[in-house]
């Protein structure tokens, strides 16, 4: 069974980043035809997503991870580097 939509709300909050990345890679490869909505703020995970929607107090910004680094609030949240 391959769902069309998968929604996960901070599924990695109690898992180390290495395991979080492994799980993310497995989900992305197994469900590559599904729309995945992942609520998360870990840089390593956000970089793997096709697009990021970043909610702000005054609205939102949307784009690829590297594009959003130009926003001060987003950059501060993820640590401000582009490794």
Model confidence pLDDT, tens digit, residues 6-21: 999 999 989 999 999 9
In this prediction the pTM is 0.81
* Alpha carbons 45 and 21: distance in angstroms, whole number: 6
- Per cent of the chain over pLDDT 70 is 95
For residues 1-24, one letter each, b for 16 or more C-beta atoms within 10 angstroms of the residue's C-beta and e for the rest, the string is eeeeeeeeeebbeeeeeeebbeeb
């Amino acid at each position: 069974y391959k769902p069309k939509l998968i929604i996960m709300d901070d599924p990695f909050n109690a898992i180390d980043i290495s395991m979080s990345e492994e799980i993310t890679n497995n989900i992305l490869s197994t469900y590559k035809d599904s729309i995945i909505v992942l609520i998360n703020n870990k840089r390593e995970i956000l970089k793997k997503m096709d697009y990021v929607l970043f909610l702000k107090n005054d609205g939102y910004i949307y784009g690829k991870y590297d594009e959003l680094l130009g926003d001060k609030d987003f950059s501060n949240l993820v640590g401000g580097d582009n490794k």
